[in-house]
Amino acid sequence: MKKSRTRNIPSCFRLTAPGALVIVLALGACGDDDDILEPRPPAADNGNGNGEEEQETPVPESEFWDDDTEATQRAQALLDQMTLVQKVDMMHGEFNPNYGFFNAPITEIGIPPMTMADGPVGVRVANPEANEQQATLMPAPIALGATWDRELAREYGTLIGAEADLTGHNVLLAPVVDIIRVPQWGRAFETYSEDPLLTGVLGAESVLGIQSNPVVAALKHYLAYAQETRRLLESNVVVDERTLQEIYVRPFAIVQRDGRPGAVMCGFNQINGDFACENEFILGEILRGQLDFAGWVLSDFGATFSSLPSLEAGLDQEMPGNTGGALPIPCYYCEPLLEAVQNGTVSEDRIDESVLRILRPWIALGGFDNPPEPEPLPEEEHGDLARTIAEQAVVLLKNDDLLPFGDDITSIAVFGADADNVVAGGGSALVIPTYTVSPLEAIRARAGEGVDVRYHPGNDPLTSAALLPGPEPIPSGFLRAPDGEHGLRAQYFLNQEFSGEPELDRTDPYAAINGGFFLFEGFTVASPAFPELPQTLNGDLSIRWTGELTVPADGVYEFVLVSRGTGRLFLDGEPVVETAPGDPDEIVETRAEVPLEQGDTVDLRVEYVNDARTEDRDVGPQFKLSWMPPTRVISPRSTEAARLAAESDVAVIVVRDYSSEGGDRTSLRLPFGQEELIQEVAEANPQTVVVTTTGGAVNSAAWDDAVPAILQAWYGGQEQGNAIARVLFGDVNPSGRLPISVPMDEESTPVGIPERFPGAGTNQVFSETIFVGYRGHAEFDLEPRYAFGHGLSYTEFRYDGLRVSRTPAGMEEQYPLQVTVTVQNTGRVAGTETVQVYVGNLPADVPTAPIALAGFERVTLDPGERRAVTVNLERNSLSYWDTVSDRWVTPAGDVPILVGSSSADIRLRGTGTLPQQEGEE
């Protein structure tokens, strides 16, 4: 099988898994109207229900790379010509300062360089020669999760695969199919959902899309990688086998079954005492044995901790490998591995096995015949798809008759420190966009000349310091720097003594820093209102902030130093509070109470020294000056915003969180004055809509009741602004559905006890077992604020006519049951509904979830239109992992079938009967 350089999959045809019937349901131009949405065969696509037509097409024998015998022969022939040194070299990366991480070509035998780029939010272009390192910044995968749309997942994958190729790469480190177990997880935005089925289905489509280009998809992070806190400190996931299989292995299994990634990346964490990259059970027994994965396993960057145990467990390639001292990590697969073969500890056959596993998918997927050469990107076309996905991803959480905006609106006030920016997640997933459209720009453009659109930031900008614990910083409006600006003069010295010329001398809105991973060049998300800090600040560092505080109210103020290292506060030259360097593994909060009088101006000096360095490479200088005023004081920025809101017809507040690899959120509340901004604006103008541009769930307890409308817009990518504006004005009827549960608060989640998150010592104890996300909310009676699957529309849908039946012969192996319902659009505009089918407790002797997603379909309906929708239910949603027989078991008997618009909005209930399986009692 040779891959051509064709990058686009025609929208009417989709490849399916081998042996499946293909029902092609065409979109728009491809077909006529029909009123039945047919069941979905494996990995096929039903489209959006937008005028479907069905036909049957014979399936090519196999489209998967691992059936390509010619590629295997070519790989074997190359292997036969390789020297031992060349083979071992292929088993680890090389750091090339001009390129990032890659493997050198072996030109004499025709092996091209292996060139990797990070995903999954688009291509993080490694090659400085390519397109100024720009690529399309896509909506974050969690946004794609909110579309519940297989076709868009395929198109997303196809686009990022094409861009990987066009920017000179042949391996893309994407997609991520980790489960969102912890709502605070800093990398929730990089994956799809808290549900294994939804995650696996979208992941498989994404892999098929990526690998429709001459690019290998590296699926990550195998396995049970679920939080950032202490991820580099030997963190150990304590998990039972059943939970591991049902929740964490399952998405990888679906992707392997339906998408066949060429590579899998093992993660940093241990699983029950063995590092993922040297864990025989998960690599050998599960991935290669049970899942039949034939590609290669590469380690996450710095996640290899040994040579022989890793090799024995099945790790094929260590990344980044030989960094030439660029990173302080050893290379276990460099000389140590070579020596082990030379002295007979390791057989060359074992080395050959790994090299073959690398060569086979690489050749079969076209990497040898189509070496990537940088070419310009079709920026506009790709931007259009990014916008479509961002639009489909917006979840209308609530709407009391405010949206969409009508023609009668003459003025709009827009707020949010980053409403004039595009918000993205930080870390290795950060992409340099080809262009951006901010919400403010897009609202202005869409509203047109006749509408007065005015903007005020309303709050101080966020940095990674928003992840620090403790109260909020002093709002800049109460501070004045010596240059007359609001804020404080900040002098950053590259020594511990505040001596010499500062590295940086500028005015910052507040006194706070959170360095380490968040200062790594190219990994940081900065706001134009708080420009990036240099990576050099991660070493010897002292900072002095100076300015004046104008006291807003009489009373006793609590000043809090949140610090890892020495911190000091002086008011009018007098020392007020000091934090000693202390334990490097702890952030300390030190408080002082100071009586102050309204209107007084106090000289304020804050100092910090980075003198408590921890072993944790993710963590660097951490400091924040916070305060607790004696009464509620409103920051000047919120007051000004409220004034503007009162003069406008409607207000749009764009709020955000700070999500990034390298750290988890300490709170799900909106940081740095955003809650107050919402409260003040909503009080001044009840016609207020909040748009949350966040990497995951937000705790809206403090303001939810105060606003009539909330749009969850995620990190929407470079076209985020247009997507938001088009939903606000009703050009797009929102159809996103939550791929996560939004909890009431941080405690009311299935992982709301410390041993579960952030863990006890090095252990993350997965004692909630299979009750993750909405399964746990239901099992533990934790009512979410917004349930998994929730999302409103500008229209309404009625469900009736539930039928549950056995699937037609030939499909029962994968889909034992089939559900049909009729959905009608009862409103006045066209809209898309996602029909969700859940199963209740299984007729089993083991505890099972009270509710678990078993299938879903999207259907687009015109006003008044009715359509029968058929959903096939996945066997493993009707099964449990039996730890005695080590396999999935589908128990015979009756199972509740729940059909609805969300996990909390069940419209129809029925019963399915699971037949006795052969060989079962």
Binding residues (CB under 6 A) for ligand BGC: these are 118, 173, 220, 300-301, 428
In this structure, are residues 659 and 187 in contact, taking their beta carbons and an 8 Å threshold? yes
**Exposure class string for 603-619: b at 16+ Cβ within 10 A, else e:** ebbbbbbbbbbbebbbb
The smaller minimum CB distance to ligand BGC, of residues 492 and 518, is found at 518
Tokens standing for 573? 């030259």
838 token code pair: 């859940």
Q: Quote the least distance from Cβ 124 to ligand BGC, whole Å.
A: 7
Closest distance between ligand BGC and the C-beta of residue 128, in Å? 16
DSSP type of residue 798 = E
Rounded to the nearest whole angstrom, what is the least distance from the CB of residue 696 to ligand BGC in the complex? 17
Q: In terms of CB distance, is 115 or 712 closer to ligand BGC?
A: 115
Structural tokens at position 61? 């024998």
284 three-class SS: helix
Amino acid at 124: R
Min. distance of Cβ 373 from ligand BGC in angstroms?
Answer: 23
- The residue (of 428 and 890) whose beta carbon lies closer to ligand BGC is 428
Residue ranges of alpha helices (H) inside 45-129 are 69-81, 84-90
CB of 608 to ligand BGC, least distance (A): 27
- Residue 170 beta carbon to ligand BGC: minimum distance, rounded to whole angstroms: 15
Shortest Å distance, C-beta 301 to ligand BGC = 4
**Short-list 406, 424, 511, 522, CA closest to 465:** 511
Residue 245's φ and ψ, nearest 5 degrees, are: -70, -50
Nearer to ligand BGC, 159 or 430 (CB): 430
Sign of the Cα pseudo-torsion (19, 24, 25, 26, in order): positive
Which residues are registered as beta bridge partners of 476?
none
The CA–CA distances, whole Å, from 793 to 399, 460, 553, 725, 768 equal 9, 32, 45, 16, 33
Q: Indicate the residue among 301 and 623 with the shorter CB distance to ligand BGC.
A: 301
The CA angle 696-698-702, to the nearest 5 degrees, is: 175
- Nearest distance in Å: CB 533, ligand BGC: 20
Cα 815 from Cα 807, distance rounded (Å):
7
CB of 295 to ligand BGC, least distance (A): 16
Nearer to ligand BGC, 244 or 430 (CB): 430
Nearer to ligand BGC, 283 or 651 (CB): 283
SS (H, E, C) 696-727: CCCCCCCCHHHCCEEEECCCCCCCHHHHHHHH
Identify which of residues 47 and 120 has a Cβ nearer to ligand BGC in the complex.
120
The least distance separating ligand BGC from the CB of residue 427, rounded to whole angstroms, comes to: 7
Measured CA to CA, the distance from residue 817 to residue 831 in angstroms comes to 27
Tokens standing for 2?
């040779």
118/246 with CB nearer ligand BGC: 118
278 or 607: whose CB is closer to ligand BGC? 278
Q: How far is the CB of 428 from ligand BGC (least distance, A)?
A: 4
784-801: b (≥16 Cβ within 10 Å) or e = bbbbbbbbbbbbebebee
Q: Which is nearer to ligand BGC, 220 or 665 (CB)?
A: 220
Which residues fall within 8 angstroms of residue 496, CB to CB, at 6 or more apart?
A: 540, 541, 542, 609, 610, 611
State which residue has the least CB distance to ligand BGC.
428
Q: Which of 118, 205 has the CB closer to ligand BGC?
A: 118
Residue 93 Cβ vs ligand BGC, minimum distance, rounded to whole Å: 10
Q: Which is nearer to ligand BGC, 437 or 519 (CB)?
A: 519
Distance of closest approach, residue 119 Cβ to ligand BGC, in angstroms: 8
**Tokens representing residue 320 in the block:** 């980044």
- Taking 3-state DSSP, the helix, strand and coil percentages for the chain, each rounded to the nearest 5, stand at 25, 25, 50
- Which is closer to ligand BGC, CB of 156 or CB of 222? 222
User: Can you tell me the distance from the alpha carbon of 405 to that of 238, in angstroms, rounded to the nearest whole number?
Assistant: 50
CB nearer to ligand BGC: pick between 120 and 750: 120
Task: Please list the residues that pair with 415 across neighbouring strands.
Answer: 456, 653
Say which residue the tokens 């295997």 belong to.
72
The minimum distance between CB 455 and ligand BGC, in angstroms, equals 35
Strand pairing of 622-628 and 601-609? unpaired
User: Of the candidates 25, 284, 5, 42, which has an alpha carbon nearest to the alpha carbon of residue 855?
Assistant: 42
CA distance 727 to 248: 34
Minimum gap (Å) between residue 116 Cβ and ligand BGC: 8
Core vs surface per residue 803-815: b (16+ CB within 10 A) or e: ebeebeeebeebb
Q: Which is nearer to ligand BGC, 331 or 691 (CB)?
A: 331
- Hunting for tokens 């995951």 — which residue is that? 696
For tokens 């088993």, the residue is 91
Paired with 56 in beta bridges are 23
Selection from 180, 707, 153 nearest residue 396 by Cα:
707
* Least spacing, CB of residue 265 vs ligand BGC, in Å: 7
* Contact (Cβ atoms closer than 8 angstroms) between residue 739 and residue 719: no
Our CB check for ligand BGC shows the closer of 176 and 417 to be: 176
Axis-axis angle for helices 348-364, 335-342 (nearest 10): 130
Cβ 253 to ligand BGC, closest distance in Å? 20
**Closest separation between CB of residue 521 and ligand BGC, Å?**
13
Would you say how long the chain is, in residues? 921
Question: Closest CB to ligand BGC among 50 and 227?
Answer: 227
Tell me 111's DSSP state.
B
720-728 and 379-393 helices, crossing angle to 10°: 50
Q: Strand runs (DSSP E) across 519-649, as ranges?
A: 542-550, 555-564, 566-571, 574-579, 588-596, 601-609, 622-628
